[in-house]
Amino acid sequence: AAALVLTGLVGFEREARRKDAGIRTHILVGLASCLFTLISIRGIPALMGSGVTWDASRIASQVVVGIGFLGAGVIFFNNDTVRGLTTASAIWMVAAVGVACGAGMIGAAALVVALYFLAVFAVAPLTSLILRRDQDHLLRLTYEDGKGALRQTLLLADSQGFDARIVSTRDIHRNDWDGAGVDVRVSGKSDLQAFITAVAETDGVRGIDLLDRDD
């Protein structure tokens, strides 16, 4: 019951953030880890009898190894960006919470879950504020060929104090013009709106959009 509640809280937070692994995955991982631990501590020794020595840590150690494969399933790489690391870490953590509950260490498990929410809702935003990661943005630029729009955009970024890096490119062919679409990641503490306005006024630029940041 403790594993169900504690891992369900973590899973609910992941579900609310619309992550691939939600409340059901986290609860099932926590319950399975708890059951493996109970089997290791109570079930197998009871079956083997008092005359046989049994290392109760063997099954728990395999839970730690096995959960890595499940966590790897929610990590993926897209456009030079790794996603799913936090969710994979949460799955690994709820496995530990389940093991702790199975071992009777419910207080320690509850403390770890409380520290998880502290890290997610307090430490991470504070770190982002200190490092000013909120100044990291992804722009989608559409421009015509032959007018030097991309080169001018990169020069504008440099002149205004932004670090610009091309993430992906694609060709665009329309009835009246040929061009390209480029996703550019820009980071810096300068005025982003002024930069976007300057790019939009560049000769050959057909459109510029500000995309959502990664989690």
Q: What is the pLDDT of residue 112?
A: 96
Q: What is the pLDDT of residue 52?
A: 63
Q: What is the pLDDT of residue 215?
A: 36
Give the C-alpha separation, 89 to 26, whole Å. Answer: 11
Q: For 86, phi and psi rounded to 5 degrees?
A: -65, -40
Tokens of 154: 């990169």
How do residues 84-143 score in pLDDT, each as one tens digit? 788 888 899 999 999 999 999 999 999 999 999 998 888 877 876 676 554 678 888 888
- By the 10 Å C-beta count (0-12 exposed, 13-18 middle, 19+ buried), 23 is classed as middle
Tokens of 98: 């389940």
**Whole-model pTM over 0.75:** no
Alpha-carbon dihedral sign for residues 62, 64, 13, 18: negative
**For the chain, which ranges sit under pLDDT 70?**
46-54, 56, 71, 73-82, 128-129, 131-135, 212-215
Q: What is the pLDDT of residue 82?
A: 61
